Amino acid sequence: MRIVFMGTPDFAVSTLAEIVGTGHEVVACYTRAPAAGGRRGLDLVPSPVHRAAEKLGVPVLTPASLRTPEAAETFAAHEADVAVVVAYGRILPQNILDLPALGCLNLHASLLPRWRGAAPIQRAIMAGDAESGVAVMKMEAGLDTGPVGLVERVAIGPDMTAGELHDRLMIVGADLMGRALAALERGGLNFTPQPEDGVTYAAKIDKAETRIDWSRPATAVHDHIRGLSPFPGAWFELEGARVKVLRSTLATGSGAPGTVLADDLTIACGEGAVRLTEVQKAGSRAMPSGEFLRGAALEKGRVLA
């Protein structure tokens, strides 16, 4: 089939590679325009999908908007059978959605209708969900409201981080989209409307919610830490500097919230305790808690902010 691919971050790269590898003709790749970055923040850095598409020999387009007549004319000229959208980062207007003969398919990293929206991976872990997954949905004008064709479920381990779930869903999702396109090509991809019950929204992570609140139950603190790891990172303050917590585990013990209970970075929460197992000081690399403690005075009984 003739396919237009639309995506931006690392999560989308595996799906692009899967589509090219299975023999479809990717006639164009839409992605975010190069953004300021590099060591000094002065270079224009192309997106991961942009770099992958160039290596695969796929023409790249980076329009600032899809809502102009010129954008619609360019898109129509691709004469695509289907568009595949994976974390593109832009809303597709209805006139674009209507152009591919077989519609636009979106790979979404959740078990729809749970966690529609921008941050489904982080929100699933932060909420303590036992499973997540990926869904192939036929796009419509609403936010992740379209009917679903295929779903693959993935268990969320008790200490799994958002980064680990991201990497797992990235691979599972690429395979799922490959199977969805094969079914679509032979006319066997059937779509089921999403149920009205169970809808939740995965709002973008706000910096204001990243600070650890030790007054919450230990399970909630642990889910908060792993749901924000590795980025943007949950944190506490020590001697005026932020310390990110990248990994933790549930522990035994009790005390006033934020109290250091043992010399292994076990911290009391509102109910129970967590043990911090990997942390990162500002301007430093991530390190195991034992290494961190060799250079930080965190005596038993100290209360963390």
Supply the CATH classification number for the domain 2-201: 3.40.50.170
User: Which whole number is the average pLDDT over 195-218?
Assistant: 97
- Select from 143, 94, 88 the least CA-distant residue to 117: 143
How many angstroms separate the CA atoms of 238 and 260, rounded?
12
Binding-site residues sit at 110-113
Sheet strands (E) in 89-183: 104-108, 116-117, 131-138, 148-155
pLDDT (0 to 100) of residue 102: 98
User: For the domain with range 207-293, which CATH number is right: 2.40.30.10, 2.40.50.140, 3.10.25.10, 3.30.930.10?
Assistant: 3.10.25.10
pLDDT (0 to 100) of residue 253: 95
pLDDT (0 to 100) of residue 77: 98
- Record the tokens describing residue 249, joined without a space: 């585990």
The residue extents of the domains of the chain are 2-201, 207-293
pLDDT (0 to 100) of residue 37: 80
- Select from 245, 250, 201 the least CA-distant residue to 227: 245
Binding-site residues for (6S)-5,6,7,8-tetrahydrofolate sit at 110-113
pLDDT (0 to 100) of residue 282: 87
Sheet strands (E) in 203-272: 234-238, 241-251, 266-268
How many angstroms separate the CA atoms of 118 and 108, rounded?
10
- Record the tokens describing residue 210, joined without a space: 């990243």
Model pLDDT for residues 104-161, shown as the tens digit of each residue = 999 999 999 999 999 999 999 999 999 999 999 999 988 999 999 999 999 999 999 9
